[in-house]
Every structure is written in structure tokens, then in C-alpha cells.
Structure 1
């Protein structure tokens, strides 16, 4: 029986799928890029290597990359270059200014001072002008250049300028760049930001081969010229140090490169006995770490996850050194949980960037639980807004919050009423029930803006039946890596006698059972006792035997006192009349600025004749200089940012 062509089965492979199962042509290109990136990491040869095909046929520098691949000898100085290609439209409007501000941050010079950007012809580059020139650029390049023994270079800036001149020759165009030298790590390095625009006004496209191999070759050539080639003694001493290292080393990469099915045969290099001896010593060290097993004298079996394990162990060692340096000899149990599974509250002992190229920060938090925590910050978190010594709380995203459980427990007939909650807290004997209600109202207002709950009238919200699951999904969508909140910008030593509702006051009216008797928890206990003594002096607490009874509505009283004092100062500075807000009163005006107080951060709303101080929220910062409206209920606030309809 004859068959027709249109009845034949034809298989058409689809594009690689997204994590959610959908397909897209744009994701196909990204998938290919990821494959090329992994091939490069695995040690693929440059396109100019003998017997290899050209990996790329586009971009500037591909010819230079092919010619430079075989220039380096075994005695050349080693250079590590990390590069990042940033699409400016996708990265966001503040990406460039944030990165430039970071590389010029405090504490990066030899003397611990603020960094100074420089360029091809100047030692004091104007970063604002550089940012303005790149307003219309499609993309930008960011590099970190780390030269072996960079501390021996007499002129790090001169080295950077000569390196960029050679790079401009290879790319056949003038380059517009700025750089900052960093001396705040074990090995000095340079941050270079390069505009993605060539001298002819077109987009600067650099060949992948040049990014992967050519730049490093040029930098290594220059370092060898300036410092001289490495002697045999230096090379051997460096390899001997690698034998005992608890991290991924060049010896490990050599073993992985020559392994077949994770099996190493040392007889394949009979003429290089010194190196074979080093490899054998490294294998014995790996055997002690249970990452390799001896088959016989010349054959070894490597663990399949050896590379990943050694990389992780190296990162762990770096983190522990960072934590010990931050704690300055204080005895703490270190917790290296990158993304905490439970809330972490404590004092910021140190901060920095775990990933300098991608501007992802970290905090070392001296917790109230008596432990020291290494916390990786969410992408985009502003390190400048988290002062060392301040009090922070890190919450894991997507986990159920206690405040949400409380709201769900008080709901009756689908409604949450703040009056009912206040009565319940008073019956339970909570020290400051109004402050507890205010905290829940703030959470409800945040959820209202996201469409999860609905405010019926003041103090009443409609809560859906699937409230807890929806709030968890909401938090997970906001920050996949966790939520960081600054509880106080003041160290606890300054909070003891501060005029305002401090973090210590919130701890006092809350539950102090989670304070450890050791470490920072013990320091907080001592500060709370000193704070009680101060409140007694101010008439806001009374002693009854060994107990101290706090005044009613303590937090509101402290907050109102501080706002009244600050209001007088601003009134004297601006000539505007300070108008304190009453419960449920609406404030209208132009958002002029924010002020950081012991009671928190407040926004100044100017209506032309006077001003009001309203609790600040991140959502209002984008409305600086614009007309906004807010309703204050205790310590909570409802911001209305859109155009309001009148009668």
C-alpha cells in the first residue's frame, strides 16, 4: 500500500524550555551562551590554538586573541580577570551609579580611606560626567583585574593605564573607562568600568575569545615585563603551598584535565618527575579529605564531586576568616547559613561584597542568640543604608510569619478588627498592646497595596480564606533570597539614653526570652537594664521592688517627644510651622526629604504653610519632590501615592 509524504512522522525538536516549562526563542540564545560559558570554564582552547576552529567570527579583538594564545610561558606572572557584560536597560536606571559609588567606597585604599577613581589622563576622574557620557549606551563592561604579587607593583595606576592602552590597540578603537584600585583584600586589584561605545559611535562589541583569553594574556605579559618572570624557586614554592590548600588549586585542575572517567594515571608524564611528585603529594592530601582513592602506586580515582567540594571548602574558609576578623577576638559560634531558614536579629559587625563583580553584599551579624551569622544579602540591597553597629533583622522569604499567623487567628467572619485585637492583647497582659496592634496594621497595609487584603473602613480589613498561603507567595516573589530590615541605625550603646522609641524599647515591651545569656544577647540584656534606669529618670517608668513598671503607651510617648523636638529644629531651619499629626489624620504635601531618628525614619511633607513628619516607607522614596498623601494610625501609616479623586 502506497504512503503519502504528508502522513510521515516528522520530529521537530523544540527550543530549550524555561524553568516554568514555557518556550522562547530568546531563551535559546541564552542557553547557547550558557553552554559556551561552561566550555570556557572547562578549559577550552582559544580559537587560534592549533587544531581548533574559530569559536567566534564577530567582535573586536578576535585576531589579537588568536595570535596571543601561545605567547605565555610557564614562568609568566599569573593574572586573574573577572568580567561582566551589563545590559544597562535591563540592569535598571540606578545600576551604573550604584556600581560606581561602590568601587569608590570608604576603606579601600592603603590607608583605609575612600577610593579615588582615575582615567586614562587624570588621577581624579569625574564619575558623574562618566555616567552622563554613557547615558545612551546599550551596554557596559565591568572588569576586576587581580595580578599575582600586585603588592610589588610600584605604580598600580600606571599598570592599569598601560594595560588599557594595549587593549585599545587590540580592539582598534579608543576606550572610555574609569578605574579604582582596591587594597582592602589580601591581594590588591583594580576595578575597571568600560563604556560599551567605540570611538566611531557604534556599540563596542568584544570577541568572546578576547574576553576569555586575550585580555588575560595581555595583562600577564605586562605583569611579567614589570615584575620579571617567575623563577623556578618561586614556581615550586607556590606549588608546594598548593599541596596542603583546602580549596581548588592549579594542581587539582591539572588532575581533572588529565583524568579519564575520574581516573588519573601518573605514568603518562614520566619525563616530568618534579611535577609528578607534587601531583602525587596532592593526591595523598585529597585522599585524606576523602576526595580521592588510591588504586595502586600510579593510579588514583577522583571523587566525582571533587571540584565542587573543593570550591565550596575554599569559600567556607574565606568566610570564616572574614567572620573572625569582624568579631575582633570575641568568642562566638559561627553560623555559615547563606540564606537563613529562620529570622536572624543582631548587630552588624561587618559588611562587604561577597561578589564584587555583581555587587552582591554580605553582612556579619552578631546575633541576639549568641551566635555570629554570615548572611548573604538579597540582590540589589544597598550596603550604604546598613551601618556597621546598627540592628538588623534578616527574614527568609516564602516562610510563614508570626504576624500573619496572629492576623489569621483573630479573623472572625473573614474580617480583622484592630479593636478586637487590642482587647485580646490587653487580656493577655502585653506591656504595650497598642504597639502590637500597630505592627499588625502595618503588615495589613503592605498586603493591601499588593491586593491580598481589602480595607473596609478604618481598623477593619477583609481577609481571604487562603490568607497564609498568599502571604507566603507574596514574600517569596518580593525577595527570593530573603528580606533584610534595618531595625535601628543606632548601636545599643547610643540607644540607652536616646530621646525616642528605640529598638531597645521595642524589646522591652515585647518578649525577651529569645535573648541569649551569652555574646551579643548578654550585651542587650545589660543595655535593657540601663535603658530602664534612664526611663525611671525621665518619669516613664516606676520601680516596684525588683520590678520596673513601664508607663502606658510608652512607645507612642517616646516617639511623640522626639518628633516634637525635631519638629522645632526643622521649623527653625525652614520657617515652616510644624504640624503634629493626630490619630487617623491625613497629611498632604510635597515629599521634601527624610530624617533618620531614634524612633525610625520619617518623611517630611510640605504643604506650603507647614510640614508634618510621617513614618517613612521605601515605597515613598521614588516620589521625592512630588505631591503625596498619608494617613497615620499610631506607628503605622497608609501612603496614597496615586492621583486622588475629589468630590
Structure 2
């Protein structure tokens, strides 16, 4: 070249291949780089500390993750591992005891027998001794694993698999573990509950890397099951994918599609495996039918916002329906499909649910979420999410209960504390409260101090000083409300036992019952003439006839007139009958406790009366019955004292004035 055609090229910087580059060549190069597993050019993203690799097993988890071949892993047997690490402080040990009893409950084996606790070297482990070791060792936490192999039904027994898995875990973590386990065969997938102490073999806190908990444990279990049963065949994979295509719940196909969404928010059914590609295409059609996906171009789909949470919720609703069907069938209760519902305490205009308890169960074993099936007076059967099991008192089947929404608002005592602190430079004490409100009773002020102590233990703001006064933050009411909101997430409902007796028993009970209170109530529960509502209507008619026969009511033409004071007379008759029975059993004299009197003695047990629970308190030669409170649960045989104030008692454990107060 010469003359005007000569030129000197000036080379610029290479054009970016990132998401903002729109040229066809850039998109081709970007796709090629990503397909080859490379990284796009540009600044290296800043690493951030996640804590995933702190603890035992971190190196093993990284090795397992990096060394896993994609196609070999595709044929590995699937194992689901759920992990929880509850703390044992406070009531944690009592909750651990309840959890251990629950996993050993009846009906979890193939023949319906109770679960059998075993360990690394024994087929009959001692659960009490296991928890005693945790208590004496002052364990901070406990590890709970639920290991469920997709093909677990192929095993005649799961003990061998569990022991080999835990032996491998010990090698990976470099320490011996103190663990017990129970096998369950009461679901579609047999699974094992493994409970591990939070101490290593040197007595130190056991800290397991998050990487190992989330990935390593599952990989080790999958290796063992694959070794035992062999890799999955094409037929195994095909049948699983076919089942997932039409399911109305979150599946592995959905997780794969969500992970494959590109920077434009689109996903393609394409996959290196033809079975997966066909299944993904079918799954996208199902998601379109459910309104969760739309095809914006050939083989280019856009998933709906929140598709993962929506599918998970749909699966939970399906599980709830199956739980209701199973519980009602086992309880001999027949209800139409239209009369099965989930109780939503936060629904606008939602009334408290009144009904009888059909079944209590564990809805989510990993998060310790329990449920009640309640046959309501509205003629419908309801699934009630109780939240954490340790926070709700056990209720007998057949008992009549009222279920209502747990409040998320600050309590009146919180506002009272804030008012006292506002005029005292952020300080609160009994004397400051009394100076501001001279008519405040001692018990009223003590209720404020108990509330502050509860908030302090929960880390919700107030600080107790050496002189017994409290430092109250300016946003005390807001912090108290946040604390109540947190409690509502853990336990969304309040369950009030209206009567521990079935309505059929109440109809002829010689004592005050819930049916009697309904008869005199200014706002009785609306009863549907169907289901349990019809049963209550019939029981009320029987109760009226019984009261007439006992001379506590009279018939006037078409209505029944109740005699004045009949409830008090019934309560007295039932109390006297219970007192006579206990006096003969315990060889002690009954002493009635009146309002304002001090109570001191050993708490023996709860006594169920038609009018409610009573607590049996004994001294050397006498006993008394006083209203029972949930805080007495688990205190049998302990010395308690308190002061009777109307129908409520503030209890103190032990004889010392400084003993812990419970209410």
C-alpha cells in the first residue's frame, strides 16, 4: 500500500465481555467462557469473610466439593441431611429431654412400636445418661441431624449405615463423638435422628465448620448409600424426574432452573443430560400451568418472582391436607374435603378458634415446629401451627381449647415502665414507681420487675444495676414490641384449655364445666349445626336436662332457667369430691387457701377438674389445692411458696427470699 491508502492502526483496550456488552461477538465469547467453566474478564470480586471454614471438617468439605465429578455425582444416591444446633442454656436442656422422648414415641418403627435409642456400641442406649453427661459437661449446644436416604427403604435396618456414617464423621472431624440415634419408618422415606453432644473427646466445645455441616455430611452419607446400593441407573433417574415434573411443590428440577437463571432473568431448559433437558422442559410447562413461568422466546423462559417460596408454600399446603386426612382418620372423625382448613391467626377478621383437640404432632422435625389438629365448633377441622413445641403446654386429645393470635404489641407494663423512666432520667425501681403512683399495689409493681427481668434475659434492652434499679433505654416500648414479635414468630398462637374433658363427659359431670359457662355466657360461641358444632349442641341439651334433674335449673315452657349461684355450687361439689379422694390417698388433711394467704410446701402434681387444673401442694400433715400455672410443669417434688391473690399466684422456688420467682 502507498499514498492515501496507507494508515497506522491504533489499538485500544479489549472490549469488556460483561453483562453490559451487547454486541453479538461479545455474547458468543461470554457464553463460550461460561460454558468452559472460566471467569469473565474484569476485576476480581472482593472476597468477604463468611466463617464457613471455621471449625472441624473444613478441609474435608472443600476436598469433597472440589473432587466431586459432575457426572459421577449425577448418578450418586440422593441423601437429605437436615441439621439444627439448639442451645442448651435456660430451658434448652428441658427441651432436649422432650425432643429425646418425642423421637422415641410410639408408632415410628415398621411394626408400630416405640423408637429404640442406640449408640455406636449398643442397641439400647440410655437417653437419661446421655443428657446427664451433657448437663454435667455444661454443654453449650447440641447437634441434631436427620439423615434420610431417598432409597432408605432398601435397607432392612439403618443402624449399620448410621454407625458407618458417624465413624466416618469422627475421622473427618478428628475426634470421637458422643451420640445416640433413633430410626424412624413412619414416613415415605425411612430416616434416622442422630443427636450429638456439643463436646469433643477432650471436653472442649465441638465446633464443626459450616461447610462440613451443609455439604460434607451429605456427601459422606451419599457415598455410603451409593457404595451399598450401587449408582443410580438411567431408569431410576428417569422415574424420579417423571415424578417431579407434575408435582405442586419445590423439586430438584426447580432448584436447577432457578440456579440457571442468567443475568437477563431468563432460563433455558437446556442441559448436558438429555433426561434432565426433557424433564426441565416438562417442568417449565407445569410451572406455566401454575402461573409461575412464561415463555418469552423459543426455549427462553422467565420465572415468576418468588417462585421458590411459592412452590415451597404449595408443598406445605399439600402436606397439611395429608396431615389433616391422616389425623382425622386415626381419630375416627369424618369431614368433607371442603371442611378442612389451615388456621391463619393473622387473617383479617379472624376469630379465635374453639374446638376439641384431635391430634398433636411434629410438623417440622428440624425446626421443632409442632401442630394441632382442632375439630372446630364451626364444623371444620383446622391445622394449627403451634411453633416451637417447648413453648406450648401439652394438651390431651379430646380437650376443648381456644386458639388465638399471639399479640405482637408491647404490654401495658412496658408503657408503665417507660413512663416512670421518662421522669427519672431513664431509671426504674419499685420505689420510683411507688413515688409516681402511690396507689400501686406491691404485686402490681412486682409484675413490672418480673417483666423487666424477662426482657433482660432475652437481651431486649433493660439493664439491672447493683442497687436493684434498672436502666431503661429511650426506645423501651419499641424494643418490647420487637421482643413480642419475635416470640410470635416462634409461637404464633396462644392455646387456652377451656376444659380438659370431652364434651360428652362434661354433659353429665358433677362439677362446673365449659358447657355450664357457655350456658351463662353473654356471648356464647356460634355453633354450626355440623361436625363438632353439632356435638356441642347435643351436649348442651344433655347438660340442661342434667341440671334440671339435679335441681340446679327448671323448665319454664320452652326455655330452661338456671338457678342463681349454680356454678359456684358445682365448683364446690367437685372440689369436695377431689379433696376427699386425695385425703384418703395421701393420708393428709385438706386446708383451704384464701386470698392474701401465704402458701408453702412441696408441689406434687396437677389435678384436673372440670373447672380447670389445680396444683396439689403438700406439707408434712396437710395439703391444699390452688390454681395451677404452666410454670409448675416439671417442678414436681420441689419446694415452692407464694401468696394467693384472687385466682393468681406468684410462685417462688425454695425457702430463701432471694430465690427465683416464677409466675
Partners of 1:447 and 1:368 in 2: CA distance: 37
Q: Is the 8 A contact 1:378 1:483 kept in 2?
A: no
Q: Which has the larger radius of gyration?
A: 2
Partners of 1:56 and 1:191 in 2: CA distance: 24
Q: 1:275 offset after TM fit, Å?
A: 2.6
Partners of 1:452 and 1:81 in 2: CA distance: 44
Aligned residue number for residue 496 of structure 1: 507
Q: Is the 8 A contact 1:589 1:629 kept in 2?
A: no
* 2:519 is aligned with 1:508: yes
Change (3 A) 1:638 1:201: closer
Partners of 1:256 and 1:77 in 2: CA distance: 22
Where does 1:458-469 land on structure 2 (aligned, <5 Å)? none
Aligned residue number for residue 8 of structure 1: none
Aligned residue number for residue 629 of structure 1: 642
Aligned residue number for residue 106 of structure 1: 106
Q: 1:638 offset after TM fit, Å?
A: 3.8
If the length of structure 1 is used for normalisation, what is the TM-score? 0.75
Q: CA RMSD in A?
A: 3.3
Structure 1: tracts of 5 or more residues without a match: 1-44, 46-50, 405-443, 454-468
Aligned residue number for residue 228 of structure 2: 226
Partners of 2:564 and 2:167 in 1: CA distance: 70
Partners of 2:160 and 2:606 in 1: CA distance: 43
Q: Is the 8 A contact 1:348 1:390 kept in 2?
A: yes
Change (3 A) 1:206 1:513: closer
Partners of 2:634 and 2:265 in 1: CA distance: 55
Partners of 1:96 and 1:640 in 2: CA distance: 25
Q: Is the 8 A contact 1:153 1:227 kept in 2?
A: no
Where does 1:50-199 land on structure 2 (aligned, <5 Å)? 56-69=52-65, 70=68, 72-89=72-89, 92-135=92-135, 136=137, 137-199=139-201
SS in structure 2 opposite 1:245? coil
Change (3 A) 1:515 1:233: same
Q: Is the 8 A contact 2:147 2:193 kept in 1?
A: yes
Q: 1:176 offset after TM fit, Å?
A: 0.8
Q: 1:361 offset after TM fit, Å?
A: 0.9
Moved more, 222-231 or 158-167: 222-231
Change (3 A) 1:498 1:150: farther
State the Cα deviation string for residues 131-170 of structure 1 (Å, max 9, x = none). 0111222222111111102222111122211211121122
Aligned residues: 535
Moved more, 175-184 or 235-244: 175-184
Moved more, 487-496 or 290-299: 487-496
Partners of 1:257 and 1:239 in 2: CA distance: 17
* 2:385 is aligned with 1:385: no
Aligned residue number for residue 385 of structure 2: 376
Change (3 A) 1:474 1:86: closer
Partners of 1:91 and 1:583 in 2: CA distance: 31
Partners of 2:557 and 2:525 in 1: CA distance: 22
Partners of 1:474 and 1:291 in 2: CA distance: 34
Q: Is the 8 A contact 2:404 2:495 kept in 1?
A: yes
Change (3 A) 1:274 1:626: closer
Aligned residue number for residue 352 of structure 1: 361
SS in structure 2 opposite 1:186? coil
Aligned residue number for residue 263 of structure 1: 266
Q: Is the 8 A contact 1:153 1:226 kept in 2?
A: no
Q: 1:620 offset after TM fit, Å?
A: 4.6
Partners of 2:251 and 2:387 in 1: CA distance: 30
Change (3 A) 1:513 1:568: closer
State the Cα deviation string for residues 230-289 of structure 1 (Å, max 9, x = none). 2211110110111101011111111112111320134x54x5444322211111111111
* 2:348 is aligned with 1:343: no
Moved more, 551-560 or 252-261: 551-560
Q: 1:67 offset after TM fit, Å?
A: 3.0
State the Cα deviation string for residues 110-143 of structure 1 (Å, max 9, x = none). 2333222111112221111000111222222111
Aligned residue number for residue 309 of structure 1: 310
Q: 1:540 offset after TM fit, Å?
A: 2.5
Where does 1:590-609 land on structure 2 (aligned, <5 Å)? 590-609=602-621
